[in-house]
Amino acid sequence: MLTLLAVIIGFLYASSIYMFLRRSIVKLVLGIVFLSHATNLLLFVTGGLRSGEPAFTAEDGTVDLAAVSDPLPQALILTAIVIGLGITAFSLVLVYRFHQETGTVDLDEMAEQDKP
C-alpha cells in the first residue's frame, strides 16, 4: 500500500510539473490542483498507514498506542483541502477574467499583444 501511494504521489508531482511547463494558464491551474493533491497524500502518508484503525480511544478511556492511527495528519489534510478549495476557486476566476480581458489563455500570446 505504501509503495503504491509513493508511486501515486510521485506521479502526481511529475504531472503537475509537466502542467506547469505548458503555456496555457488553464493547465497551470490544473497543475496547482495536482500539486496540492500530491502534497495532501504525502501528509496522509506521514502519519503512518494503519488500515481500519480509527483515531479514537476505547469506550473505557484506555489508549492502545499501537492500535490508534494518528489523527493529526488527517486534520492537517482537511485544513489543506479547505485552503486548496479557496485557492482553486480564486485561480479559476482569475483565469476566467484573464480570458475575458485578453481573449487568450496563452501567456506568450498575451505578451505579444502588449508589445507596442
Partner 1 sequence: MLFLPVILPLAAIVLLLFTYRMKRLQQWISIISMSAITVQAVMIMNRVVLDGPFAAQAGGWPAPFGITFTADLLSAILLLATGVLSLIVTVYSIGFMDDTRKTAGFWILIHGLVTGVNGSFLTGDIFNLYVWFEVMLISSFVLVTLGAERKQLHGAIKYVVLNLIGSVIFLTAIGLMYGQTGTLNMADLALRLRESEHTGLINSSLMLFFIAFGIKAAVFPFYFWLPASYPTPPVAITAFFAGTLTKVGVYVILRFYNLFVVTDLATWQIIVMIVAGVTMVSGVLMAASSYDIRKILSFHIISQIGYMIMGVGIATVLGLAGAIYFIVHNMLSKTATFLAAGLIYKYLGSYDLKALGWIYKDYPLLAFLFLLPALSLAGIPPTPGFFGKFFLIYGGFQAGAWTITIVAILVSIITLFSMVKIWNEAIWKKIPDESAARQKNPLPLTSLWATIVMAGLIIALGLLTGYLSGYFLEAGRQLMDVDLYIRTVLH
Partner 2 sequence: MRSEILKIAALHLKPLLLSLSLILLIRGHNEPGGGFVGGLMAGTAYVLYGMAFGAEKTRQLCMVKPFLLIGLGLLFALVSGLLALLLTGGAIMEGIWFSIPVYGDFAFKLGSPLLFDSGVYLLVAGMLMLVMLSIMEEG
Q: With contacts defined by CB under 8 A, how many residues of the chain interact with partner 2? A: 6
Which residue of 5, 8, 20, 68 would you call a contact of partner 1, by CB under 8 A? 20
Distance from chain centroid for Cα 14: 13
- Grid coordinates standing for 112? 505579444
89 contact choice in partner 1, partner 2, none (CB below 5 to 8 Å, kind-dependent) = partner 2
Q: With binding defined as CB under 8 A, does residue 76 bind partner 1?
A: yes
Which residue of 6, 7, 82, 83 would you call a contact of partner 2, by CB under 8 A? 82
Which residue of 100, 111, 114, 115 would you call a contact of partner 2, by CB under 8 A? 100
Report the amino acid identity of residue 74.
Q
Give the closest residue to 66 by CA, choosing from 53, 85, 47.
53
- Grid coordinates standing for 5? 501511494
- Measure the CA–CA gap between 25 and 110, rounded to whole angstroms: 11
Which residue of 65, 86, 108, 116 would you call a contact of partner 1, by CB under 8 A? 86
Stretch that binds partner 2, among 7-15, 21-29, 40-48, 85-93 (CB under 8 A): 85-93
Residue 48 region by backbone torsions, left for phi larger than 0, else alpha for psi between -120 and 50, else beta: left
**Residue pair 41/5 in contact by the 8 Å Cβ criterion:** yes
What is the contact surface with partner 2 in residues (CB under 8 A)?
A: 82, 86, 89, 93, 96, 100
